[in-house]
Amino acid sequence: MTKMREKKNADADGVGIVQTEFVVFAQPPDELVLESGKRLGPVTLAYEMYGRMNADRSNVILVLHAFSGNAHAAGYHAGEKTPGWWDAMIGPGKAFDTDRYCVLCSNVIGGCGGSTGPSSINPATGKPYALDFPVITIADMVNAQKELIDHLGIKKLFCVAGGSMGGMQALQWVALYPEMVRNAIPIATSLKHSPQQIAFDEVGRQAIMADPDWRRGNYYGHGQPERGLAVARMVGHITYMSDKSMEQKFSRKLKDDNYSFSFAPEFEVEGYLRHRGDTFVKRFDANSYIYITKAMDYYDLSGGRLFPAGTTVSTRFLVIAFESDWLYPAYQSEELVSELKIRHVEGTYCRIESTYGHDAFLLEVEEQTHLIKHFLTAGAERAGQGNA
């Protein structure tokens, strides 16, 4: 395995300037064996680390990103003004306190944030994989992360945590490696993808595939299918909000005072969605959108798959859901809580009042911070780590 180590500087408000690191593994003939039976290698994972590992490396929290996220969870990259996607939650004194814990986040395989995905070069052809990239699952993502954890010499994770698809990965960690996870915090997630969630993903995929610029996935070197990807993001973004949050943010406000009686975007919500779509295509790969949504659709830990028969689970759980989340509604988190009770697994469930919809896991910082800090402190005391 190889990696690039880069310097990090902390500041008073957060973890400061950070840079991405990389680990390479699964060199042929020891490729990563996927759930499909296909093999992938070599594999690169991009990751970032905030805080320091203690002497026995028992204070590591693995933070897992949602669908369009990446390894840059906190701090700032040099020259950029936008912090990592969960910066409000990671840093000194924050929910995931880097004065006490070492926080790690990696970009998933299949993504486009530095980890191996369909836009990566296929060593067999010297060209981007495109649709030659094998179909992956959430379990494949976690098995790749396990390689990173092993490489860093971590025997047991203090906690795995994430919202949405990040929550799926957290639960998949427990299903695959229960002996390695002391605590788990799945947020705004479920035990399986529902027909409605699969349906929205399929609409996004079809929007991309219907764009002539998609070229059956072989658009590298030509420019990606921007309109199709933008529409996919627009549809997805609607599901991340709620009726109340859209009413509060936009209502029926017009960009100008009167109707234009045309098909130009005249409602503020139309302009907002177009802006979100146009911004998204500048940072995300269309094929990664197709592959990652398919991985989420295959995800299913229901029916006893979370705790396979014969496994012993000592992991503590903090399950968080949000009242207005209609993409991953609270009842789906409550199904998880029922599984915990059936298996006599220790768990705490919190349903937070919020108008933000599914995006609440990124926005409801204060209440999540209170819950998570208390949960982690209790876990550290139980593990005999004191102040970690």
pLDDT value for 11: 47
pLDDT value for 210: 98
Q: What is the pLDDT of residues 99-120, one digit of tens each?
A: 999 999 999 999 999 999 999 9
Name residue 93's amino acid. Answer: G
Q: SS3 for 223?
A: coil
The pLDDT of residue 387 is above 60: no
Report the catalytic residues. 164, 325, 358
User: Which H helix or E strand runs over 376?
Assistant: helix 365-382
Of 3.40.50.410, 1.10.1740.110, 1.10.3720.10, 3.30.2000.10, which CATH number belongs to 197-296? 1.10.1740.110
Average pLDDT, the chain: 95
pLDDT value for 9: 38
Q: What is the dihedral of CA 267, 273, 279, 284, to 10 degrees?
A: -170
pLDDT value for 385: 66
The pLDDT of residue 1 is above 90: no
Name residue 181's amino acid. Answer: V
Name residue 228's amino acid. Answer: G
CATH code linked to domain 2-191+302-382? 3.40.50.1820
Element counts in the chain: helices (H) and strands (E): 10, 17
pLDDT value for 236: 97
Q: What is the pLDDT of residues 34-85, one digit of tens each?
A: 999 999 999 999 999 999 999 999 999 999 999 999 999 999 999 999 999 9
User: Which H helix or E strand runs over 295?
Assistant: helix 286-298
CATH 3.40.50.1820 domain range(s) in the chain:
2-191+302-382
Q: Are 44 and 115 in contact (CB under 8 A)?
A: yes
Percent of the chain clearing pLDDT 70 (strictly above): 96
Burial 296-334, CB ≥16 within 10 A → b, else e: bbbbebeeeebbeeeeebebbbbbbbbbbbebbbbebbe
DSSP state of 193: -
Q: Which of 299, 292, 281 is nearest to 133 (CA)?
A: 292
Mean pLDDT, residues 211-232 taken together: 98
User: Which H helix or E strand runs over 291?
Assistant: helix 286-298
CATH 1.10.1740.110 domain range(s) in the chain:
197-296
Q: What is the pLDDT of residues 107-158, one digit of tens each?
A: 999 999 999 999 999 999 999 999 999 999 999 999 999 999 999 999 999 9
Relative to beta strand 60-64, strand 43-50 is unpaired
Q: What is the pLDDT of residues 27-41, one digit of tens each?
A: 999 999 999 999 999
